[in-house]
Amino acid sequence: MFEYAPAPESRDIVDIRPSYGLFINGEWVEPQGEERHKTVNPATEEVLAEVAWAGEADVDRAVQAAAKAFPVWSAMPGAERAKYLFRIARIIQERARELAVLETLDNGKPIRESRDVDLPLVAAHFFYYAGWADKLSYAGFGPDPRPLGVAGQVIPWNFPLLMLAWKIAPALACGNTVVLKPAETTPLTALAFAEICRQADLPPGVVNIVTGAGGTGAALVNHPGVDKVAFTGSTEVGRLIARSLAGTRKKLTLELGGKAANIVFEDAPLDQAVEGIVNGIFFNQGHVCCAGSRLLVQESVAADLLEALKRRLGTLRLGDPLDKNTDIGAINSAEQLAKIRELSEAGEAEGAERWSPACSIPDRGYWFPPTLFTGVAQSHRIAREEIFGPVLSVLTFRTPAEAVEKANNTPYGLSAGVWTEKGSRMLWMASRLRAGVVWSNTFNRFDPTSPFGGYKESGYGREGGRHGLEAYLAV
Ligand code: NDP
């Protein structure tokens, strides 16, 4: 195979301040406490900036700002709110390159993904929900659907700006105001978004951004002034939040973990399926809640498929996330790397066979090579637990019924993929798979018009599409 010359994207386009405050009521304010934390580039361990750590008093201030802005924002005609959302979408497009570089620096994902997937989807979400703002009466939720009030939103680190867009765009379109907490390890694009709100002249208090860690998130979701909680993250924390909100008047949506099956039948186009498997689990280093982390392949084609898959994995390039040729970037944090290592070691200890292509790992930063496990039993931890890293567990099946049985044998139910040339089989499978999203001959496809969400321990509520409005309306 030939070598690629390095093609790094310039980072000069981003201007990272040494230190950030909180964005409350349209202004940058200092937190009441002294505590701050550093956000690092996971590919180099270089400190990028210091970020404020919001305590309960700061969260209270942000919720009050959002509550004060609510009567004005919610009373504004939908067509006027839409103008702000369209303006935000246009500014995101104009600043897309800068935001993509910033996301890659703070998160570790390849620039090709932040530039070609995350950022276009972020803008598309704002455009899409801008279009709904003046049509809520026709959305199927009654003639005059009302917003809920203040939305407290907590998001994870795997798609920082995209998760912000999934949360903020529908909330604002419906007339709610927002307090959002980004993840501790990836706050920078949310802070850049605060600047975009100012650039768009969004009225003060409509969007507030509070940075911090789990405690800040807990203070936000438990604040009595919050009317709606939207959370994306681990099932463990989702469970905690559901417990603490039970019996309150707050409306809750949870988008949690997954352990998706990517199912390949013998009649599938195998080369295409290999690309779909790679995209399913190695996209974003496998830090994807709907990642196709369990490959179920029909026994008759398992050997051929695995050979082709291994050949393809040998061509993936791991390294500098800012390089436009990079396929696999850095793992987002030392903690996540430790978790991936621990589960991979458990896979070996339980008897599965581990394989990775030859690939050199940079000296600094957090890295994990693309890995696959064969000989995996359904009882193995690597077949049951979310690894949230570039690790694929391979299982086989003989009949469609067995494929359904194995695919559904998980506490999760977020997504699944089916590869077959037969439409009838596809529909047969889709109607039996207990997953919120079933992809057909593709994987990890997202679109703002399409609802996304889970069953079972993957959470409840839908984001995206017309369904995504429901979470932010009193219906
Ligand atoms: P968490 O669920 O801990 O974090 C998600 C968000 O919730 C973060 O903003 C976090 O803050 C915040 N948070 C943490 N504790 C609380 C709390 N008690 N109340 C309110 N908010 C809280 O996920 P992690 O980042 O720790 O990742 C752990 C695992 O979760 C991963 O390995 C993966 O398996 C899964 N995960 C699933 C995701 C999905 O999309 N479904 C996304 C991310 C993770 P902070 O980051 O500051 O701690």
Residue 289 among the catalytic residues: yes
Ligand 1 atom having least distance to the Cα of 220: 20
pTM of the model: 0.97
* Atom 46 of ligand 1, nearest CA residue: 183
Q: Ligand 1 centroid vs 238 CA: distance in angstroms? A: 8
Per-residue pLDDT at 475: 80
CA distance linking residue 430 with residue 264, whole number of Å: 13
* Atom 43 of ligand 1, nearest CA residue: 233
Residue 255 among the catalytic residues: yes
Q: Ligand 1 centroid vs 118 CA: distance in angstroms? A: 19
* Atom 21 of ligand 1, nearest CA residue: 217
Per-residue pLDDT at 4: 82
CA distance linking residue 139 with residue 92, whole number of Å: 26
Considering the candidates 255, 386, 463, 470, report the single residue annotated as catalytic: 255
Q: Ligand 1 centroid vs 386 CA: distance in angstroms? A: 13
Angle between helices 78-94 and 119-132 (to 10 degrees): 170
Q: Ligand 1 centroid vs 233 CA: distance in angstroms? A: 4
End-to-end CA distance of the chain: 58
Pocket test for ligand 1, best of 211, 237, 343 (most atoms within 8 A of CB): 237
Per-residue pLDDT at 287: 97
* Atom 42 of ligand 1, nearest CA residue: 233
Residue 369, Cβ neighbours under 10 Å: how many?
17
Q: Ligand 1 centroid vs 213 CA: distance in angstroms? A: 9
Nearest of 49, 33, 14, 29 to residue 209 by alpha carbon: 29
Phi and psi of 397, rounded to 5°? Answer: -145, 165
Instruction: State the number of CA atoms in the 13 A half-sphere of 437 facing the CB.
Output: 29
Nearest of 336, 57, 88 to residue 207 by alpha carbon: 88
Pocket test for ligand 1, best of 226, 234, 458 (most atoms within 8 A of CB): 234
Per-residue pLDDT at 1: 58
* Atom 15 of ligand 1, nearest CA residue: 214
What residue type is assigned to position 209 of the chain?
I
SS (H, E, C) the chain: CCCCCCCECCCCCCCCCCEECEEECCEEECCCCCCEEEEEECCCCEEEEEEECCCHHHHHHHHHHHHHHHHHHHHCCHHHHHHHHHHHHHHHHHCHHHHHHHHHHHHCCCHHHHHHHHHHHHHHHHHHHHHHCCCHHHCCCCCCCEECCEEEEECCCCCHHHHHHHHHHHHHHCCCEEEEECCCCCCHHHHHHHHHHHHCCCCCCCEEECCCCHHHHHHHHHCCCCCEEEEECCHHHHHHHHHHHCCCCCEEEEECCCCCEEEECCCCCHHHHHHHHHHHHHHHHHCCCCCCCEEEEEHHHHHHHHHHHHHHHCCCCECCCCECCCCECCCCCHHHHHHHHHHHHHHHHCCCEEECCCCCCCCCCCCCCCEEEECCCCCCHHHHCCCCCCEEEEEEECCHHHHHHHHHCCCCCCEEEEECCCHHHHHHHHHHCCCCEEEECCCCCCCCCCCECCCHHHEECCECCCHHHHCCEEC
Phi and psi of 241, rounded to 5°? Answer: -65, -45
Considering the candidates 289, 290, 457, 470, report the single residue annotated as catalytic: 289
Q: Ligand 1 centroid vs 282 CA: distance in angstroms? A: 20
Per-residue pLDDT at 3: 78
* Atom 35 of ligand 1, nearest CA residue: 234
How is residue 167 written in tokens? 């949360």
Q: Ligand 1 centroid vs 237 CA: distance in angstroms? A: 6
Ligand 1 atom having least distance to the Cα of 163: 40
Lining ligand 1 with CB less than 6 A are: 154-158, 181, 183-184, 213-214, 217-218, 221, 232-234, 237, 240-241, 255-257, 289, 336, 339, 386, 388
Show the low-confidence residues of the chain (pLDDT under 50).
none
